[in-house]
Structure 1
Amino acid sequence: MLRLPPVFDRLTPGGERNLADTLRGESAGGVLLLLGAAIGLVWANSPWAPAYEALADTHLGPSWFDLSVAHWASDGLLAIFFFVVGLELKREIVVGELRHTRTAVVPVVGAVGGMVVPALLYLAVNLIAPDGDHSGWAVPTATDIAFAVAVLGLVGRGLPTALRAFLLTLAVVDDLLAIIVIAVGFTDHVALLWLAASLALVAVFAVLLRRGVTAPWILVPLAVVAWGCMYASGVHATIAGVLLGLVVPAVARPGADAAPDAESLAERFEHRWRPVSAGFAVPVFALFSAGVAIDAGLIGEAAADPVAQGIVLGLVVGKPLGIVGATWLLCRLTRASLARGVRWGDVGAIATLGGIGFTVSLLVGALAFGEGSTRDDHVILAGARRIGDRRAPGRRPAASASAAPRDVTPARPQSAVSTDAAPSRRMRRSR
């Protein structure tokens, strides 16, 4: 039987660096994302709504690549977000928590559970309802890493560092699974020549980086052309951003003059592009995605729509249930135990943040139901409701945590418990 180390135990050095970097940047990004969505929602319901619609429908680009501003935001700017996600994935796989199977299995299993259960709940609602639509099953499966980490950074400082890292790693794996769903489930046709051209350009991008070429005037145009070829292929263009991020080296190049703590290209690119993603690309996407004209009729339609009901049920109930349930089963099947200082109530609090879905959920909703459709509006309202219903994941007093089991495994000899289990501690404030 597979034996695992204590769940949520001390992090690897690479995992701690990844966590610190992400917490340092994503809190502000989450606030900007919320601000962009709020501006779009208010603007679309103000006397200046025609100006908002005119701006969103303004077409830019050459005749052979003519897209609206809203389309550029969802397919173009969001590719920057997915490029950063690709960089995070590469770092986690090479130097972080996904490097070793023993540490990667916990967030991976939690992420899978956090996707399967919401999808099943959504399907249960929509397959029973006469006017249900099963095509949106993937909408409640995605975790918004910017919002989740922002909320965690603001109100979850009392939680153990390893639990906070678990949320980050789980969200990254969640994004990877969502990317696979987008690439496989929402591609109607594929132009193989364009796809091959995009993959070839990504390969050239990788070779240049391996040879030390980092000039932006070479790499940026190359990446843009790779994105354009991916768009022309019929595969969602944001996949190009992920692939470009995944080919960036995550280990510093060896050399006699290299410092022991030298940054890898993935770290350098992440520091450089994260502000662009969190401070511009994602907020602009939210601005043009959340602009729904709300009236009593639309709210009533959304409340009665099985699509919106399935999304809310999947995010509010399915996500926490899937994450905690999958982690609990993993502990039972492998006889692993929670690390010292971690309670199941803490795991449940972290799992509730996994139910905050916005950026990727809106993208999947637009792909499933059609951008600007009535049910796409219902997806936006459901996602906004979930954000409004989020609860602070701060650690509860010990007396209130008694409802959660302290351990899910049979008693184990003291020698079988790792002595490296890290006690609860606060995250250092970044400089």
Structure 2
Amino acid sequence: MAPKKQLSLFDLSMIVISLVIGMGIFKTPVRVASAAQIPELFFLAWIIGGLVALCGALTYAEIGSRFPVTGGYYKVFSAFYHPSIAFAINCIIIVSNAGSVAAVSLIGAEYLSKVILPLDMQTEFYRIIIAAITIVLFYIVNLLGLKVSAKAQNVLSVIKMGMVLTLIGAVFAGPAAVSQTPVFETGIAGAVPAWSDYGKALGICLIAISFTFGGYQQTINFGGETKNPNKVVPRAIIIGLAIIIALYMAINYAYVRVIGFEQLKTAESIAAILAGKIFGPAGFTLLSGLIYLSVLGYVNVNLLSNPRAMYAMGEEKALPSLFTRISKRTDVMYVSLTVFAVIAVFTLFYAQTFEKILNYTIFLDCIGMATSAATLFFLRKRTADLDKKTIYSMRLYPLLPLIFIAAYLFVALSIYSDDPKAAINGLIIFAGFIVIYFISVFFNKNKQTG
């Protein structure tokens, strides 16, 4: 049973925004400022990150336009590489996203617990309970159908954008922070920085920035459920990412102006500082509610996106066929949705801190982003006969996808340089899933012949 086409341009644009704007923009600027050391490199890194994301958006816009299927982020690997590669990358992404949902839910629960719970109940146990309730609540919302969950996503995305715009307003709430003049220092005291020093610092900055901009590529999972997908998918990706880039540049300017660049390097709860500047003592309470709503948007959009990749894996027998089951009444992929929600709740009790998961997540994402973007070169040849008026074709091809692929390879090398253990473990996990795929295929063949 094929899914119905229900998503509009506005729906998909809001999904793009919620896939990208999670909790990263309220945490990663601290890490980027610490790595950049000077504001010029800080802003340059965000500009480069935005331009790379734009190259990626145009690349995935064309992939989505030429390959409009449900679970596209799985099927594009399966069609142009090998099902084992598709299985390994998507398993990693699904497990990683479930962990991210758990970790982000805990962050939201921590903020909310400080507002709604008495001091003696503000413990890890009760935060886990709040986080679990959050995931279960939006699991139920998604069980009601795509229209209901998409409408909920639209509301939460608008609230999320409103929160970011409100925090940007802190630049008008008072004088700029006084900060000492930052100096770029190398490991050798008194040494003049070389270009390689700046390059290494930029690479470390881009690790966190890539995490903060990531997620929009999953929009191609919705191609089979989007009205007029050849036009709507690319437009939604481009519109959504344009809004995100503008918001990110503006809020980073607000962080530097209000907090001060030197103080930003070690600051905690940077969003709370901006909220306090605008609303005074009540700022933290208001921000806590807004951040929790932002968390709801992130949880909901992952419950929307990831089951579609699992559905595609079930269609191609990489997962058991029961993952393709769809409710006749609500058109919901209820088995895939349930399994993803269970993984997320289970992970709550083992969720790692944001800093620990960052390098693992981004290194694995680098593999997925670079290889999935490269499928465009094959896809153009396969779809050369399509009417150019019905699909999106980027300008400056093949320059833009090559820039995007090169940038993610640079980030992967930067991760290896900064944290070799994370990179090597990432490769081992990737290889492990490929082995699992072939073992699964072997046993399935034996069952069919037995």
- Does the TM-score normalized on the shorter chain lie above 0.5? no
The TM-score with structure 1 as length reference comes to 0.26
The TM-score with structure 2 as length reference comes to 0.25
